[in-house]
Amino acid sequence: MKTLFRNFSQNPKNDILSGLTVALALVPEAVAFAFIAGIDPLVGLYGAFMMGIVTSIFGGRPGMISGATGAMAVVMVHMIQQGNKVGNALAQPIENLGLHWLFITLLIVGVIQISAGIFRLGKFVRLIPHSVMMGFVNGLAIVIFLSQLGLFQKTTDAGIQWIQGTELFTMLALVVMTMLIMFFLPKLTTKVPAALIAIISVALVTVFGGIEVSTVGSFIKEGGGEGLQGGLPLFQGQIFELLHTLNGHWNLILPTAFLLASVGLIESLMTLNLVDEITQTRGSGNRECLAQGGANFLNGLFGGMGGCAMIGQSIINVNSGGRGRLSGITASISLLLFVLFGSSIIEQIPIAALVGVMFMVVIGTFAWSSFRILRKIPKSDAFVLITVSAITVWQDLAIAVIVGVIISALVFAWENATMIRARKRIKDNGTKVYEIWGPLFFGSIQNFNSKFNIQKDPDIVEIDFIESRVSDHSGIEAIENLIGKYRGLNKKVRLTHLSPECKSLLLKANPSFERSIVGSVDDPRYYVVTDLVDREV
């Protein structure tokens, strides 16, 4: 009970104030991502609220913030557009059919992510190399920075143009003012979140100074929305009546659902890992999978756009002192209250203040140390770091992380493939012993086979695995073929010092290995490793 309360709130004042700060930063993000997906801003705000409240209460990482995200919004666009085309082409046209298809897709996304949690797939985030993590945060910092540049544009009769002249200098001045407050205020006091004070200060300057700037309200209206004012999310029962419209279109819905689920989980688990490092605590990846899935399922039922963890807002929260679940709950409830009652106030917040906050997030997110260590780390790790950063900016986070992990795995396999060795000696009775060192797997088979001189070896050969392990089916095949070649010349092969796992693997694949495995002499070090693995699991 004490641990539960500590997770709920380590410091109620800090959690509430940081939650309020995050809520203010969530508004333009949710609205912008809704515009990207081509849906009403309120759908984005409802999505941010439902994602935030569910993951804050049930998620695996206290203090981490979830909401509507650009990574998922980009994936939604094509499906929503196709759905709207189908709806308009029906004999009795259905308005916003693409949006209803999105809600149906989110139900499937929720089931997939919940299944990932049930089958404990969240733990695999621990296998992501550090070079991939650094590339991820660097790329994401660049993406956050580039996304803020769009707020320096405005829509005119001639199209979208960059702001210029007095309007540009005014906005830059307010952005710099926000950043300076956030930089110097913590040096004076840490009792209040610097980001919240910066936003309030800039808002007061513009309101009482009569300065005309782009605000949250004008941003929404320029994007085609009517404002923040809305009611509570409503149950979308009609989506079950529209399932028949998916006939012939499941090949669009299901791949989109799997992609959304994958992108959401990867971004959430990577953010969880990052927040773990910042707070020097450890969250639960499997529990986060369950919470993310439940939140997306709820979004499908009640008309939100879905989402996942948000690294920018999570860092704002943590840096503002929000470490407990209360911070995320406060952010989510505040966001809903803005929609219900506080829209007129929130719409007056200058976009420049929120841009300044996000620029500080960029500075805090980017791993500046990567420049210093690039020449000190292995070239393969440096290549992975740069590649993941570039692909995150060029494509998206999910693809970048997958590519980074694949490259790291291939490099690891190649390096281990060249590590296999064989020390050779002759016993007094004439038996030749090959002491194998290094892992035997698909990558090291060629080197393994090259160590043996089958034609010239004596009649009895002993292969000692005291410093080696058979890791996969390719390794089993290599041993089986080797034994077959020796037996073809009427020579005997003995396998010694196999670990219990290796013995089991060999005998399960081919019981005839029993003739070659000598006694039950095992290296005791294997038992120690086995015990450690059992305790870890």
> Which of the residue ranges 86-90, 150-154, 445-449 would you say has the lowest mean pLDDT?
150-154
Which is it for the CA torsion 28, 314, 335, 256, positive or negative?
A: positive
- Selected residue with higher pLDDT from 319 and 227: 319
Q: CA 198, CA 204: separation in Å to the nearest integer?
A: 10
Residue 4 predicted with pLDDT over 70: no
Q: CA 39, CA 232: separation in Å to the nearest integer?
A: 17
Residue pLDDT, tens place only, 273-289: 889 988 888 889 999 99
Cα dist. 259→100, 273, 334, 388, 537 in Å?
Answer: 18, 21, 30, 19, 29
Residue 343 predicted with pLDDT over 70: yes
Q: Span 515-524, mean pLDDT?
A: 62
Percent of the chain with pLDDT over 90: 45
Mean pLDDT of the chain: 87
- Selected residue with higher pLDDT from 111 and 529: 111
Residue 525 predicted with pLDDT over 70: no
- Selected residue with higher pLDDT from 455 and 1: 455
Q: What is the pTM of this model?
A: 0.75
Q: CA 1, CA 298: separation in Å to the nearest integer?
A: 28
Q: CA 54, CA 288: separation in Å to the nearest integer?
A: 10
Residue 39 predicted with pLDDT over 70: yes
What's the pLDDT score for residue 381? 92
Residue 100 predicted with pLDDT over 90: yes
What's the pLDDT score for residue 529? 37
What's the pLDDT score for residue 532? 38
**Strand (E) or helix (H) holding 154:** strand 153-156
What's the pLDDT score for residue 521? 44
Other Cβ atoms closer than 10 A to 153: 14
Cα dist. 410→180, 201, 381 in Å?
Answer: 45, 52, 12
Q: CA 84, CA 220: separation in Å to the nearest integer?
A: 22
**Strand (E) or helix (H) holding 3:** helix 2-8
What's the pLDDT score for residue 530? 35
Structure tokens at 19: 């939650």
Residue type, 526: Y
- Selected residue with higher pLDDT from 515 and 520: 515
Residue 224 predicted with pLDDT over 80: no
232 burial via Cβ count (<10 Å: 0-12, 13-18, 19+): exposed
Burial 400-435 (b: 16+ CB within 10 A, else e): bbebbbebbeebeeeeebeebebeeeeeeeebbbbb
| Sequence spans of domains, the chain | 16-387, 418-536
Domain 418-536 belongs to what architecture? 2-Layer Sandwich (3.30)
- Selected residue with higher pLDDT from 4 and 53: 53
What's the pLDDT score for residue 519? 57
Percent of the chain with pLDDT over 70: 95
What's the pLDDT score for residue 292? 97
What's the pLDDT score for residue 146? 86
What's the pLDDT score for residue 9? 76
DSSP 330-382: HHHHHHHHHHHT-HHHHTTSBHHHHHHHHHHHHHHHS-THHHHHTTTS-HHHH
pLDDT band at 455 (very low <50, low <70, confident <90, very high): very high
Q: Span 74-87, mean pLDDT?
A: 90
